[in-house]
Amino acid sequence: MTTAAAPFGSRAATVAGPAGGAAAIAASARQVTKAYGSGETRVTALDQVDVDIARGRFTAIMGPSGSGKSTLMHCLAGLDSVTSGQIRIGGTEITGLKDKQLTKLRRDKIGFIFQSFNLLPTLNALENITLPMDIAGRRPDQAWLDQVVATVGLAARLKHRPTQLSGGQQQRVAVARALAAKPEIIFGDEPTGNLDSRSGAEVLTFLRRSVDELGQTIVMVTHDPVAAGYADRVLFLADGRIVDEMANPTSDAVLERMLRFSAAETPVPAPAGPLTAGGDSRRNA
Amino acid sequence: MILKTSLRSFFAHKGRMALSLTAVVLSVAFVSGTLVFTDTATATFDRLFASTASDVAVSPADDGADHNEQSGGAMARTLAASVVRQVAAQPGVKSASGEVSVSNATIVDPATNKSVGPTGGAPTLAGNWYETPNSALRITSGAAPKGAGQVLLDADTADKAKLGIGDQLRIITAVGDYRATISGIATFTTTNPGAALVFFDTPTAQRELLGRPGAFTSVVAYGDGSRTDDQLKAGLVATFGRTYQVKTAAEQAADNQSDVGGFLDFMKYAMLGFAGISLLVGGFLIINTFSMLVAQRTREIGLMRAIGGSRSQVNRSVLTEALVLGVLGSTVGLGAGLGLAVGLIKLMGAVGMHLDASQLTVKASVPITAYAVGVVITVLAAWLPARRAGKVSPMAALRDHGTPAEAAANRIRAGVGLLLTAAGAAALVAGSRSDSAGTGGALLGLGVLVTLVGFVVIGPLLAGAVVRVLGAALPALFGPSGRLAQRNALRNPRRTGATAAALMIGLALVTGASVVTSSMVSSATSQIDKSVGADFIVMSNNGGLTPNMVKAIQGTPGLSHVSRSKDIGVVITSPDGHREDTSINAVSPTYGEDLRVPAVTGSFEGALKEGISVDKDYADSHHLKVGDPLSVHFQGGSTRTLRIAAVTAEDNQLYQGEMYIGLDTAVRALPADRLPQDVMVLAGASSGADQAYAALQKSLAQYPQLQVKNQADYKALIKKQVDQLLYMVYGLLGLAIVVAVLGVVNTLALSVVERTREIGLLRAIGLSRRQLRRMIRLESVVIAVFGAVLGTGLGLAWGITAQRVLKTQGLNELTVPTGTIVAVFVGAAVVGLLAALGPALRASRMNVLAAIATD
Ligand SMILES: Nc1ncnc2c1ncn2[C@@H]1O[C@H](COP(=O)(O)OP(=O)(O)OP(=O)(O)O)[C@@H](O)[C@H]1O
Ligand SMILES: [Mg+2]
């Protein structure tokens, strides 16, 4: 365990060392604006957003549908370009990078967990987990890999194809893949959105542990107050702006904040419906 | 409603449909192009023959085996000038002219010492110029030839050889060698398909072409309108009895047509065969396209079924799409076919067959065939996946858009495929063991067909095993792209199998053909090595060798001996009463030195002195042995009883099935004017073969139509001829391969679309564009090489069986062309790379986010 933990320790140390204040920031957005379309159909998905993602912390992003959560995450992860402003990942300015450099950045520094369809159906679980390293031409750190696999509880399923795994198991493989490459930061867009509450809890617990025990940095978009409750910090987005944030959230506090928030947004009573119902309907889908 | 959905879906998938459409277009174009081309060629010849035929023609009686008389070296048969007068005197005959026409002349431009006549199939005709009411040629410049030393040349040949009035021509005929000045140029009133023609005035033609003043080769007559051609013929037959043969215009045309018709038919069937192959391959492409479209739409179809669409409605919607595709493809294909026909006409022009592209003959049967073929094949090919689509239960379709588990279907498929392949293989083995080439050939044909179908059926199952092996090295060689490519090629074996099967067909035929032709070359070479003792071989491109040529050879210094050889038309009656109309070889006594024909019993040399040698096959089937008598009727001469002096072996194509007599025997049996020219002269060098070769070439330089070869050059010539055949086959099979490549493109393009989300995911987690492109390229190469493995395997089996079957027919040596097989593999890999270009580019250009978001 000590050997496996070592890389984390050393990395944290080097980053913390010379860069000073920046050391605590894994990713940041400065005055980021993202607009789709032009003229009449122009939609401003992000409106001058400033955000810092703390290293070694679990950050959740919440907000109503269409508020720009996915857009923010995609921009932070270098999957999408911004209209103006700057994005930095671990001290590297990524706005203006070419596709080749962005690809390399995603490959080496970023892990992804999507809501669904995270795995290649032609590869087995283990191959999916090591895929980012395969692509990079790196040999996986075997001890670390074993630890990740053991933590995710997939040791017995490594040779299985995704179709032979349950939805929760598939998401856990995706989490393992994100962790195995030891990225600077992991992004999840509703990683538990397709899971029932028990599987969702498994995955979230695992994400939490990887932050606590492995020092991983995670950013997760979610609609679910319970999921947000696992995070260290929740950012609330509305209309492309960060409107609020909460440290050390509990699910009740988040739910309460959301209800308040929706009430302020729309005068219609009981507007929380779409948010929670949205989450529920996703679960049932 | 269904129609609307179908049409909308057709246009929504127009990119994918375009490739299937191309397959239909190519196949239909090939079929209709072939038909239009052969119809046009036939019509051109019909017009020509109609324009040249007189109302009735009288020629010397045909006494049997000499249909091809002049090219076989036989002398032209003649009739006397008095016959012209007799014909002219017939009631109802308005005019009669004596005609001199020989096809064994060679026209040489003395300035270049090159033959100016056609080198391909078309004849060089020399004759007398006379005016008739229905002449195929008209003098367009200069004047008709008058007296010795003047000649009229046809305009096409003059153009081609850049000759004009006042230029010299040398005409080499059976009689001699003659020089004349061009007095005029004559142009065909219809299209000249490629013959070269020269005309003299009648006395010159009789003297120089026939060597018989006053003689004609035929009499052409025109009626005054009071009688039909048949009545004219009846009158002439009553006059001449069976001394001469009389033909009406219709009969002349029919005769001529059957001469060219054989060649045209051969071309037609060969090209239609290849069209069939490309149609088959195109069928695969269409099946594949529709399978993929249907698989992609499984959910849509499930929804349609869930909301109450019936199975037949689903069927109908897919079939309607196919119908649209078929009709569209056939229409475009028909147009392209006309273009192809024009192209073929131009191509034939380059090899000497001139047809007029502006007189394209398009019969009603062409569009009918085009639509029948295009629409029927397309709808049939779409029906299979449609049926499968209709069978999917609505919930299964809605739940998942992957293909449903097909374990049971696969077991049936494996069983059927194995059974067919085994049956086909058994037929091939039986064929290769068969004693008779006839049954062997039939078994070979059956085996080829059944193994092909077997491989097509079993292909998807083989894909699993073979691709796994082929792809095993990929991850090691190409890292993650390699691994992903290998898995992708394996994920839908039915599709991989079907895509590869299309390629397999073309490659199997290429491999099979190249095994057979390489074996042909090596067999011929070894047979020449074994049996040909001659140092030099002299043959003519046009007709036989004239006595002057033979004299020139005999007068060449440095030759130890010269052996002559003639083909003699005979009717042989064996003691058991069997009559055979055939030709035998009359050769010089030294012939045995030049071609070592081993005698099973008796002595071959003895047969050349006296008697006859027969092949073992003939001797066995008529229970003959040395000493038995054969009655040999020499066409145009006497009937002799010849004793069998030798029974010869069958092991070599150079003498297999041939009978030999001495030259003297033939000279005694035939009147001098019925003795044909030599077809071949063989010679040995006394010392210094190179010097003798040079001397021989020098003394024959004046005859550009002669081919002088030493053994090495002769082998090279045979190889060249076989190779030409092979290249033609390759060219035609190229079409099937092009269609198959389109299939690979199609499969990849559709796979890329299907895997959009996967590609998005891969890109998101860091697969570079280059790696992505490489992944698709490798998948493509794996599919193509898999096709090559199946194709070469099948082709080798076919080729080897064919060689075994034809073993007794002179194909005694098997040569597997490793170079070609390596080329097939390399070519397949290249084809795979090329096919992947478009799809790979498309995949790498995908927007990552949009790709992830698709569902
Ligand atoms: N490709 C696009 N083209 C145009 N507009 C877009 C595009 N993608 C997103 N948008 C718009 O940008 C805004 C933010 O979208 P985004 O997907 O970030 O929302 P979200 O917060 O993730 O919503 P949800 O909770 O429904 O996933 C929305 O108004 C959306 O309509
Ligand atoms: Mg979203």
pLDDT in tens, B760-791: 888 888 888 999 999 999 989 988 999 999 99
Is A222 touching ligand 1 by the criterion CB < 6 Å? no
Better pLDDT: B286 or B10 = B286
Amino acid at A99: D
Residue A276 has pLDDT above 70, yes or no: no
Q: Which residues are CB-neighbours of A263 under 8 A, at least 6 positions away? A: A269, A271
Q: Nearest 5°: phi and psi at A244?
A: -165, 165
Burial B650-679, CB ≥16 within 10 A → b, else e: bbbbbbbebbbbbbebbeebbeeebbbbbb
Q: Do B480 and A120 touch (CB under 8 A)?
A: no
Q: Give CA torsion, residues B707, B711, B714, B720, to 10 deg.
A: -150
Task: Pick the closest to residue B626 from B607, B644, B608 (CA basis).
Answer: B644
Q: How far apart are CA A204 and CA A185, in angstroms?
A: 16
Residue B560 and residue B657 in one domain: yes
What is the residue-wise DSSP string for B155-173? HHHHHHHT--TT-EEEEE-
Q: If interface means Cβ-Cβ distance under 8 Å, which residues of chain B face chain A?
A: 402, 479-480, 483-484, 487-488, 490-491, 757-758, 761-769, 771, 848-849, 852
Determine contact, residues A279/A63, Cβ cutoff 8 Å. Answer: no
Can you give the pLDDT at residue B303?
Answer: 67
**Chain Cα centroid distance, residue B581:** 27
Can you give the pLDDT at residue B298?
Answer: 66
Is A167 touching ligand 1 by the criterion CB < 6 Å? no
Better pLDDT: B603 or A193 = B603
Task: Pick the closest to residue A195 from A178, A211, A174, A176 (CA basis).
Answer: A174
Determine contact, residues A186/A113, Cβ cutoff 8 Å. Answer: yes
Helix (H) or strand (E) run with residue B215 in it: strand B215-216
Determine contact, residues B390/B312, Cβ cutoff 8 Å. Answer: yes
Exposed/middle/buried for residue B734 (C-beta within 10 Å: 0-12, 13-18, 19+): middle
Q: pLDDT tens-digit profile of B565-586? A: 998 989 999 999 899 888 899 9
Task: Pick the closest to residue B217 from B65, B72, B99 (CA basis).
Answer: B99
pTM passes above 0.80:
no
Q: Do A79 and B849 touch (CB under 8 A)?
A: yes
Better pLDDT: B647 or B244 = B647
The answer to whether residue A163 is domain-embedded is no
Residue B201 and residue B143 in one domain: yes
The answer to whether residue A66 is domain-embedded is yes
The answer to whether residue A56 is domain-embedded is yes
Better pLDDT: B172 or B307 = B172
The answer to whether residue B429 is domain-embedded is no
Can you give the pLDDT at residue A282?
Answer: 33
Residues of A in contact with B851 (CB under 8 A): none
The answer to whether residue A242 is domain-embedded is yes
Residues of A in contact with B771 (CB under 8 A): 135
Question: How does strand A92-93 pair with strand A84-89?
Answer: antiparallel
The answer to whether residue B372 is domain-embedded is yes
Residue A14 has pLDDT above 60, yes or no: no
Amino acid at A125: A
Better pLDDT: B100 or B20 = B100
The answer to whether residue B408 is domain-embedded is no
Residue B722 has pLDDT above 50, yes or no: yes
Residue B491 and residue B509 in one domain: yes
The answer to whether residue B425 is domain-embedded is no
A106 touches chain B (CB under 8 A): yes
Q: How confident is the model at residue B64 (pLDDT cuts 50, 70, 90)?
A: very low
**Residue A19 carries which DSSP code?**
T
Q: Which residues are CB-neighbours of B652 under 8 A, at least 6 positions away? A: B527, B530, B531, B810, B812
Residue A230 has pLDDT above 90, yes or no: yes
Question: How does strand B559-573 pair with strand B680-685?
Answer: antiparallel
Parent domain of A66: 2-16+25-115+186-279
Q: How far apart are CA A66 and CA B16, in angstroms?
A: 34
Q: How far apart are CA A116 and CA A174, in angstroms?
A: 9
Residue B597 and residue B560 in one domain: yes
The answer to whether residue B598 is domain-embedded is yes
3-state secondary structure of B140: strand
Q: How far apart are CA A283 and CA B231, in angstroms?
A: 99
A104 touches chain B (CB under 8 A): yes
B605 CA → ligand 1 middle, Å = 99
The protein residue whose alpha carbon is closest to atom 12 in ligand 1 is: A45
Pocket test for ligand 1, best of A33, A36, A243 (most atoms within 8 A of CB): A36
Q: Do A99 and B769 touch (CB under 8 A)?
A: yes
Exposed/middle/buried for residue B259 (C-beta within 10 Å: 0-12, 13-18, 19+): middle
Considering only residues 168 to 197 of chain A, which have any Cβ-Cβ distance to chain B shorter than 8 Å?
177
Report CA torsion sign: B613, B616, B621, B622: positive
Can you give the pLDDT at residue A267?
Answer: 46
Stretch B122-150: mean pLDDT: 83
Considering only residues 113 to 172 of chain A, which have any Cβ-Cβ distance to chain B shorter than 8 Å?
114, 117-118, 120-123, 127, 131-132, 134-137, 163
Can you give the pLDDT at residue B351?
Answer: 66
Question: How does strand A25-36 pair with strand A43-54?
Answer: antiparallel
In the block, which residue shows the tokens 């003498």?
A: B655
In the block, which residue shows the tokens 């008709």?
A: B144
Give the nearest chain A residue to B491 (CA atoms): A122
A95 CA → ligand 1 middle, Å = 20
Bridge partners of B125, per DSSP, are B197
C-alpha dist (Å) from residue A256 to B343, B357, B386: 80, 86, 54
A238 CA → ligand 2 middle, Å = 13
Ligand nearest the Cα of residue A223 is 1
**Chain Cα centroid distance, residue B370:** 22
The answer to whether residue A133 is domain-embedded is no
C-alpha dist (Å) from residue B419 to B426, B459, B504: 10, 13, 19
**Residue B61 carries which DSSP code?**
P
Determine contact, residues A207/A220, Cβ cutoff 8 Å. Answer: yes
> Range with the lowest mean pLDDT among A264-268, B487-491, B700-704, B787-791?
A264-268
Helix (H) or strand (E) run with residue B220 in it: strand B218-223
Parent domain of B31: 1-55+265-403
Residue B698 has pLDDT above 50, yes or no: yes
Residue B472 and residue B388 in one domain: no
Is A67 touching ligand 1 by the criterion CB < 6 Å? yes
Residue A15 has pLDDT above 60, yes or no: no
Determine contact, residues B324/B6, Cβ cutoff 8 Å. Answer: yes
Number of continuous H segments (helices) and E segments (strands) in chain A: 10, 10
- Here the tokens at position B66 are 């000499």
Determine contact, residues B582/B570, Cβ cutoff 8 Å. Answer: yes
Residue B231 and residue B321 in one domain: no
Q: Do B766 and A137 touch (CB under 8 A)?
A: no
The answer to whether residue B426 is domain-embedded is no
- Here the tokens at position B825 are 């593999």
Q: How far apart are CA B44 and CA B260, in angstroms?
A: 11
The answer to whether residue B443 is domain-embedded is no
Q: How far apart are CA A276 and CA B692, in angstroms?
A: 105
Q: What is the number of structural domains in chain B?
A: 4
CATH number of the domain that A72 lies in?
A: 3.40.50.300
Q: pLDDT tens-digit profile of A99-158? A: 888 888 888 889 888 877 778 888 889 989 988 888 888 888 898 888 888 877 788 889
Residue B82 and residue B118 in one domain: yes
Q: pLDDT tens-digit profile of A147-195? A: 888 877 788 889 998 888 888 888 889 888 988 888 889 999 888 887 7
Q: What is the number of structural domains in chain A?
A: 1
Stretch B561-566: mean pLDDT: 91
The answer to whether residue A46 is domain-embedded is yes
**Chain Cα centroid distance, residue B5:** 46
Residue B72 and residue B50 in one domain: no
Stretch B406-419: mean pLDDT: 77
Amino acid at A94: I
Q: Nearest 5°: phi and psi at B226?
A: -80, -20
Report CA torsion sign: B539, B542, B546, B551: negative
Pocket test for ligand 1, best of A69, A82, A189, A235 (most atoms within 8 A of CB): A69
> Range with the lowest mean pLDDT among B221-235, B305-319, B598-612?
B305-319
% residues pLDDT > 90 (chain B): 14
CA atoms within 13 A on the CB side of B269: 5
Helix (H) or strand (E) run with residue B668 in it: helix B663-669
Residue B531 has pLDDT above 80, yes or no: yes
The answer to whether residue A171 is domain-embedded is no
The answer to whether residue A88 is domain-embedded is yes
Domain boundary among B665, B682, B704: B704
Supply the ipTM of this predicted assembly.
Answer: 0.78
Report helix angle B493-531 to B818-845, nearest 10: 150
Residue B286 and residue B218 in one domain: no
SS3 assignment for B489-552: HHHCHHHHHHHHHHHHHHHHHHHHHHHHHHHHHHHHHHHHHHHECCCEEEEECCCCECHHHHHH
Residue B395 has pLDDT above 80, yes or no: no
Determine contact, residues B321/B9, Cβ cutoff 8 Å. Answer: yes
Pocket test for ligand 1, best of A33, A44, A65, A70 (most atoms within 8 A of CB): A70
Residue B577 and residue B633 in one domain: yes
Bridge partners of A221, per DSSP, are A61, A189
- DSSP E strands: which ranges in A79-217? 84-89, 92-93, 110-113, 185-189
A74 CA → ligand 2 middle, Å = 10
Sheet holding A58-62, edge to edge: A110-113, A185-189, A218-221, A58-62, A233-238, A241-247
3-state secondary structure of A196: coil
Residue A235 has pLDDT above 90, yes or no: yes
In the block, which residue shows the tokens 């995955």?
A: A203
Determine contact, residues B28/B329, Cβ cutoff 8 Å. Answer: yes
- Here the tokens at position B784 are 């193509």
Q: Which residues are CB-neighbours of B591 under 8 A, at least 6 positions away? A: B563, B565, B608, B660, B682
The answer to whether residue B688 is domain-embedded is yes
Q: Which of A103, A118, A123 sits opposite B766 (nearest CB)?
A: A103
Q: pLDDT tens-digit profile of A18-31? A: 333 445 889 999 99
